[in-house]
Amino acid sequence: MIKKCYPDVGFQMFVQTKDHSSIDRLSPAFLAYIGDAVYELYVRTAYLLPPRKLADYHNQVVAQVRAETQAAALQQLQPYLTETEKDIVRRGRNATTSHPRRLKPEIYQQATSLETLIGYLYLRDSQRLNEILKSLV
């Protein structure tokens, strides 16, 4: 059995601001861009131990960060989201206008929605972000 380490999102480099209204006005595309990076770094860190071949490590990470897995993760989270979080997810879904050919549009929208939520929580509420990430990975 593979043991995962669950890092706190203590790597947060964004300057904490009391001006939450500025964060609330960020575009869903920006939030998804940040959320994608945060999620991948979190997953990479979670699968870091125990040490193994780089190819095995890479395959595990890719399996977690692919759009299909993110879409399924969002479905799993839906019942536990607050109304504000559901609104962020909706904004992320509505902001996607294109998708890769290999994916159905709704899968890509759901994956982008999850990334938008992660980006938002990264900037607004790292404690809640930790709760969500630990439940997903």
Active site residues: 36
- Closest Cα partner for 40 from 23, 28, 57, 54? 57
Q: What distance in Å separates the CA atoms of residue 19 and residue 124, rounded to the nearest whole number?
A: 10
Q: What is the DSSP string of 100-122?
A: -TTS-HHHHHHHHHHHHHHHHHH
What does the DSSP 8-state code read for residue 11?
Answer: T
Q: How far apart are the first and last CA of the chain?
A: 15
Token digits of residue 11? 């790597």
Token digits of residue 4? 């995962």
Under 8 Å between Cβ of 28 and 95: yes
Q: What distance in Å separates the CA atoms of residue 73 and residue 106, rounded to the nearest whole number?
A: 14
